[in-house]
Structure 1
Amino acid sequence: MTEQTTSAPDAADNSKEPGFRIQRIYLKDLSLEQPNAPQILLVAAEPQIEVEIDVAVTRLSDEIFEVALIATVTAKVESKVLFLVEAKQAGVFEFSNIPAEQIDPMLGIACPTILYPYLRSNIADIISRAGFQPIHLNEINFHGMYEHRLMQATQAAATEGASADESKIILPH
């Protein structure tokens, strides 16, 4: 039987392997407002729900990024706001030895997909704690959202005038 050992050059080669690591996932911001309470709580109508989701990326260093999912959930009864939830679920992600052209899709697809279950849970929890039936957000196709943003960026570059708000995705509930 022959014993195999790892030489120093092999160990150095391992440090060049691509790597993706979640450093931290955290709730960065969460607020709930009931601007028309308590009067609106007496109205027996079913609320209309609007959900907006956005993704924000901040480079912290060459290999470390913060990705934040930003959600706004608005419930209205008879055109008056029943409640408004604003949440920002974030994570710090580290990319090592990954080609630059692969990092952007990971920031726009993989990282939001990792964060979304935490965001959904936090939103359902705060709405429930406010005394309402929890709202369970629908699944999101972050790949489709990313492709939509790329298409908008291409069109914006061609027309040089699209506003930043056009990149938000509004989801039906």
Structure 2
Amino acid sequence: MGQEITELLERIDPAAFAAVVEAFGDPSRRWFFSGQGRSGLAAQMSAMRFMHLGRNVHFVGEVTGPSIRKGDGLLIISGSGETPVSLSYAKIAKAEGATVVTLTHKPKGSLSQIADVVLPVPVVETAQFGGSLFEQTSLLLLDAVVLEMARALPDAHATMSYRHTNLQ
């Protein structure tokens, strides 16, 4: 697994990665994260880290999630780029004037055509079941985005620790 992830990370387009980092550049922008199945779990974990940075983040479908509006952002993790509910969310976000960012292994898929920023995760072959390699790598890529953003904080670890849950 480790070798598969390493080889996949080596094929990530640095310019596409930088575009995702840039999309998250405005600390005042609200972000909504989404994905279905295991991609959704990776999106939830990533949303948590963005919250730890101090960003205003929601996971789509949570009962306390507000409506998406102009100026907001929607990040969708979708391996196929064709999941009907994810496509629906992207279309709603675009209609409202929000920015759509996606991680997908189908950069020519329907979701990529809607998105403003696409980070292709070029899974070719894997010994793992289903979309495991895509989901694992998506989580690592978004953790890397968090690390890039954390560089701008004077004491990122203290900030993130302070915001980490204490109700456990």
- Structure-2-length-normalised TM-score: 0.31
- Pick the structure with more strand per residue: 1
Larger radius of gyration: 1
Normalised to the residue count of structure 1, the TM-score between the two structures is: 0.30
Q: Which has the higher helix share?
A: 2
